[in-house]
Structure 1
Amino acid sequence: MKKLIFTQEAPAAIGPYSQAIEANGMIYTSGQLPIDPITGEMPEDVEEQAEQSLKNVFAILKEAGVDSSKVVKTTVFIKDMSDFPRINKVYERFFTESYPARSCVEVARLPKDALVEIEVVALR
């Protein structure tokens, strides 16, 4: 069975997709851009963008009733791999020991010209 997960504490989808889906005890978030769900604005600094993207991810997970300890995999999409250390600095504030598996990929362009987009897979 598939269950839609939605919260107003994260930005609404900007296309034909869901913020997250739960299926077979797993929660799959869509990539979260660094958009403030209240103002609709996006910070310019890459560290602030990484923080807002993660805040959006965790707002969705909270709606699903799980926390960071349930995250098993993250994928981080970044515009410039030279920003990796700065993004990592922010990332480690959101996850503690027993870190989830992670991929980090430099991409040519992200929606809304963001510098960062983050998605996760979590256990129920």
Structure 2
Amino acid sequence: MKTVVNTTDAPPPIGPYSQAIIAGNLIFVSGQIALHPFTNELVTDNITSATHLVMENIGAILTAAGADFDDIVKTTIFLKNMADFAEVNEVYGTYFTDKFPARETVQAAALPKGVSVEISVIAAKP
């Protein structure tokens, strides 16, 4: 059994997928990009502001699912350019206090809408 999670506080899906799915006690959040949830405009001025918006979008979806960043157990970060890793990592780290989730970071040849960063997460429902 699965439950679809949707919130207007995060960007609507740009394809045939849900913002998140709850299956059992796990929450699978689809990859989020730096798309502003209210204006539907991309934030592309720099990787730091883009990463903050990606994390804020993830936070809004987690809230709608009844969870928060402390509940994340696994993240996947996709970067257009691995040279952005240090800046993305610095922003990413500010969203966690301790017991960091497992993570992988990969460079992708291309990402949706030509963005520089996309992040997906799996969380355990509290």
Which bin holds the TM-score, normalised by the shorter protein?
over 0.9
TM-superposed CA distance for 1:13, in Å, is 0.3
The match for 1:62 is 63
User: Are 2:86 and 1:85 aligned?
Assistant: yes
CA distance in 2, matches of 1:6, 1:16: 13
Letter in 1 for 2:15: G
Amino acid at match of 1:69: D
1:112 aligned partner: 113
Secondary structure of the residue that 1:103 maps to in structure 2?
Answer: strand
Deviations 1:12-34 (A, max 9, x none): 00000000000011000100011
Secondary structure of the 1:120 match is: strand
Runs of 4+ aligned structure 1 residues displaced above 2 Å come to none
> Which digits, 9 at most, give the CA deviation of each residue in 1:32-66, with x for residues without a partner?
01100011112221111111111101100000111
In structure 2, C-alpha distance between the alignment counterparts of 1:52 and 1:72, rounded to whole Å:
20
Specify the code of the residue in structure 2 equivalent to 1:59: A
Correspondence 1:99 to 2:100: yes
TM-superposed deviation, 1:111: 0.6
Q: TM-score, normalised by structure 1?
A: 0.98
Structure 2 runs not aligned, ≥5 long: none
Counterpart residue number, 2:2: 2
How many residues align? The count is: 124
**Distance in 2 between the 1:89 and 1:104 partners?**
13
Distance 1:79 1:95 in 2: 23
When normalised by structure 2's length, the TM-score is 0.96
Paired position in structure 1 for 2:23: 23
Pairwise CA RMSD:
0.6
Unpaired runs of at least 5, structure 1: none
**How many Å separate the matches in 1 of 2:30 and 2:53?**
15
AA matched with 1:8? T
1:60 counterpart letter in structure 2: I
Instruction: Give the stretch that moved more between structures: 41-50 or 105-114.
Output: 41-50
What is the distance in 1 between the residues matched to 2:43 and 2:37?
A: 12
